[in-house]
Structure formats: structure tokens, C-alpha cells
Amino acid sequence: MAVRKNQADLTAAEKRRLIDALLQLKRDGRYDTFVRTHNAFIMSDTDTGDRVGHRSPSFLPWHRRFLIEFEQALQSVDASVTVPYWDWTVDRTPAASLWAADFLGGTGRSRDGQVMDGPFAFEAANWPVNVRVDGRTYLRRALGAAVAQLPTRAEVDGVLAMATYDMAPWNSASDGFRNHLEGWRGVNLHNRVHVWVGGQMATGASPNDPVFWMHHAFVDKLWSQWQARHPRSPYLPAAGTRDVVDLHDTMRPWNNVTPADMLDHTRYYTYDTAA
């Protein structure tokens, strides 16, 4: 069984193997297919129309499935690799080891936002940004520039205390746990982290930055923590909801997996700490 670990606890060898697997997926083209899929959903999920990957109840099971697929791709290169999670309530500054040159590299330079160190820097020639919204082909970041602070543990706890999974109108205007975790409403958790990182992470093509996977692995872990705190709170809505993925509806693009299939992550992986 795969174990997803806190990125701060990875050994040097574990970091190296993860980086090597990421670079291999990039070389063989599989990495960019994940970026392309994500951007397609970002552009098509709307508050007033069909919505699957974002701004809807299936935000959490959709990204769980998306990360499982990505993790399986990594494991086809190196079976020992799993997706680590980034607990941004703890590792909350650009000085965190996450951003060191032996892992993801640091923030971008001021002139053009270009990441200049680490394995994903443009100069290393291993990480061309091919699926993009503008002409720039280098990885960019501006850590902490657009928003000063990452969410705190207290802010996370406030969201985890919300007992209702999601509420009508099942979109970016909803009250409830899902939309507060996604960040369109309230203290803003998930969305704010994208903005804090900046660069491609702030765009629809956010998986261009490998930190995308570690951010979403932590969002996924928060979902499991919420389930542990609210064992009698189900995924909602249950059935018959226009434009929204109900509990037993299949999710695009896979069409063979439902939110109900994604509720128990221990069928696929466990975490290094209990929920």
C-alpha cells in the first residue's frame, strides 16, 4: 500500500527519486497531458453550467482521482514513489526546505518571475512549459507576492469544523465545507495557496508547477480529516441535481468513477499520520 508522506520528512534519496520520476514523465510527454486535462476542466467548469473538477461538490473526489492517476504514472517509472503532501500551515515561508535547490527550487527572480534554481529551472533544460496560457516557456513563481500569508492551522480548523459537506447552489457561492476548503468563500484555503505561489500555479495550467500535486495532496488529506471529524456527514448532493455530479454519477473525463468510489482513500493509499 502506498504511503503519502509529508514532504518535509522526505529523505534526500526520496526527493531525488521523486524528481527523477517527474522529469521522466515530462520527457515522455505524459506530464503535459495532466496539465492539459486540468486546464480543460478549469475553463469549462462554470457556476451556471456543467461543473465537475472545480467550483462544485466533486472538486474533492475529482482531484482525488486525478492525483491517483498521476501517482500511478509516477509509479510506472519508479514503484517506490508516492505523491508527498505540503502542509502549508506549517511550512509557510519561502525558506521552507520544499523550496530548496535539492527539491522544487525557490521563488522566481524579480525581473520576469523565472525560477533560477532546482531541477525545474529553465536553465536545467528539463522542464519546458509546453501547455501554457502565454508565450513564456519557463517555470515562474512569486512566493508570497500576491498574497502575504498562507492559511493558518486555526483557519483550517475553522473550516474542518463545518459539518455539512456542500450546499445548494453547489457552486462558488455555496456555504459548507467544500467551498470553504476550495476557497471561493470565507477565509480561503485552497485558492489562496495557488495565489501565494504565483506564476503558473496562479493560472489554469497550474499543474505545470510540481508543487501542484503536493498542494492537492494536502487538500485531499484535509478532506479525510474532515470525514474523520464528521463520520455521519455524507457527500452531497445525493441524486438528481442538474449540472452537478451526485454521489453515484460518474465523473468526466474517466466516466467510470463516481464520488462514492472516492470516499475511502485507504483503498488506494494511506497517509503517514492518522487523519
Partner 1 sequence: MPRPSEPSRPTRRQAIGVTAGTLTALALASSAHAAPLSTRPASDAAHDAPEAFDEVFQGRRIQGLPGAGHMHHGGGYSVRIDGQELHVMRNADGTWISVVNHYETFATPRAVARAAVVELQGAALVPLV
- Report the alpha-carbon distance of residue 214 to residue 161 in Å, rounded: 23
Candidates 15, 192, 33; CA nearest to 104 is: 15
Q: What are phi and psi of 47, to 5 degrees?
A: -65, -30
# binding residues, partner 1 (CB under 8 A): 51
256-275 mask for partner 1 (x: CB under 8 A)? Answer: --------------------
Q: Answer yes or no whether residue 40 interacts with partner 1 by CB under 8 A.
A: yes
Q: Answer yes or no whether residue 243 interacts with partner 1 by CB under 8 A.
A: yes
Q: Does residue 258 come out as left (phi exceeding 0), alpha (psi in the -120 to 50 range) or beta?
A: beta
Q: Answer yes or no whether residue 239 interacts with partner 1 by CB under 8 A.
A: no
User: Residue 22 or 142: which CB sits closer to partner 1?
Assistant: 142
45-84 mask for partner 1 (x: CB under 8 A)? Answer: -xxxxx----x-----------------------------
- Report the alpha-carbon distance of residue 83 to residue 211 in Å, rounded: 10
CA 103 to chain centre: 18
Q: Answer yes or no whether residue 148 interacts with partner 1 by CB under 8 A.
A: no
Q: Answer yes or no whether residue 134 interacts with partner 1 by CB under 8 A.
A: yes
CB neighbours of residue 123 within 10 Å:
11
User: Minimum distance from CB of 272 to partner 1 (Å)?
Assistant: 28
- Report the alpha-carbon distance of residue 223 to residue 272 in Å, rounded: 15
Can you give the binding site for partner 1, defined by CB under 8 A? 36-37, 39-44, 46-50, 55, 112-113, 131-136, 146-147, 169, 171-173, 183-184, 190-192, 194-195, 202-206, 241-246, 249-250, 252-253, 255
